[in-house]
Amino acid sequence: MLSPATKITLSAALSAILLQTALPTQAKPQTPQQQAQTAIFYQKAKKELPKDWYVVYRVIDRIARANGLDNSPWRAIVIPEYNINAFATDVNLIAIYSGIIDQLAGDSSAIACVVGHEMAHHTKRHIAVGKAEKAALIAQIEKEAEAEVVAEKKDAESDANQNSFGGAVLGTLGNVLGGWGNTVSNVGQSSLSNASKQRKAEAQKRIQEIVTLKKAELEQRLAESDRRQEFEADEMGYQYIARAGFEPEGCLRLMEVFARTPSAEFDTTHPAVPKRIERLKELMAKYPPLTLAQEGKLKISASQPLTYDLSQDGNSLRINSRRGGSAADDIDRRFKQ
């Protein structure tokens, strides 16, 4: 048991730590000198990073700072493939194809809309929970199908047992009646075993039908859940980019590009593009972009550009948290001895 005095000391120490971690977001707006340093920092990044990587870095840096999403590192990877797509995977990893960056050349707001949408998939936990939810759904449906299959099998087996019982009775009768009876018995047995085979085949067919139906139901439920998540990511992504000061119309321009891809007008794993455009317009009215931009501007001016490194697996760019990319340096800063 801690003594009251120890408790007070501990809680004082804890609030000191909390105060320390809260300080960066309460920092004052950048001085002109700091602004000049920021410009130099970005120029260096532009020289160091390949063109597409620089764009993605700048977009993530700005969205993260404007929305308070700079508490832990992000990872980004540009896949050199002409594909009009991007995806979120692993933990805080955004993968974007060079094809979509090329298709949106000159329009950083539209690219920001792609990135903001993928960041939202992470913050809304669609990646972490989505996989577990899908696995649980699949397990549940498999269990249901199995239970129904077992019931069907039992029916078929009991049919088969009744038939063999009937055959045995006829067989006994045949023995009692002698040669003529045997003929009756053989005919009866063969027609019963045919009926049994047919019932078994019918049961097998019904089982197959159940499994097909359940699979179709599962696919439909999964697609509905995917589409719900896509709308959520659009909604959150729009707010992210508007706070970061990008043009929200960038999202509409992105949708124009998506609208030219095959099956854009249909609901697939993604909602149909016209529905996404309609929702985006509703969002712009519900959350005015200027108000969001004001909120974000304060956060950006009170923070520093996020540093970047190659992630430890060497495959992606790590965009560091507001604490930087080196825990060793962080320890040195905190404890001089």
H/E stretch holding 251 reads helix 249-259
- Spatial strand order of the sheet with 317-319 comes to 86-89, 93-97, 74-79, 317-319, 308-310
Q: Which is nearer to Zn ion, 107 or 230 (CB)?
A: 230
Nearest distance from C-beta of residue 103 to Zn ion, angstroms: 17
Binding of Zn ion by 233 (CB under 5 A): yes
Stretch that binds Zn ion, among 146-154, 191-199, 232-240, 255-263 (CB under 5 A): 232-240
Tokens describing residue 309: 């490194």
Q: Which is nearer to Zn ion, 101 or 192 (CB)?
A: 101
Interface size with Zn ion, residues (CB under 5 A)? 2
- Please state the closest distance from residue 223 (CB atom) to Zn ion, in A: 13
Strands 93-97, 74-79: pairing is parallel
Which residue number, 119 or 242, has a Cβ lying nearer to Zn ion? 119
Using the rule CB under 5 A, give the single segment among 6-14, 63-71, 151-159, 233-241 that binds Zn ion.
Answer: 233-241
Q: Rule CB under 5 A: is residue 63 a binding residue for Zn ion?
A: no
Q: Which helix (H) or strand (E) holds 86?
A: strand 86-89
Site string for Zn ion, 212-231 (x = CB under 5 A): ------------------x-
115 binds Zn ion (CB under 5 A): no
Task: Find the shortest distance in angstroms from Cβ 22 to Zn ion.
Answer: 32
Partner residues linked to 310 by β-bridges: 317
Find out whether 250 and 110 touch, Cβ atoms under 8 Å: yes
Task: Say if residues 97 and 82 touch (Cβ distance below 8 Å).
Answer: yes
Nearest-approach distance from CB 130 to Zn ion, in angstroms: 11
Task: Between 104 and 233, name the residue whose CB sits nearer to Zn ion.
Answer: 233
Output the CA angle 80-86-87, nearest 5 degrees. 120
What is the SS3 assignment for 310? strand
Q: Quote the tokens at residue 256.
A: 């124009």
Radius of gyration over every alpha carbon of the chain, rounded to an integer in angstroms: 32
Nearer to Zn ion, 88 or 293 (CB): 88
Catalog residues that contact Zn ion under the rule CB under 5 A. Answer: 230, 233
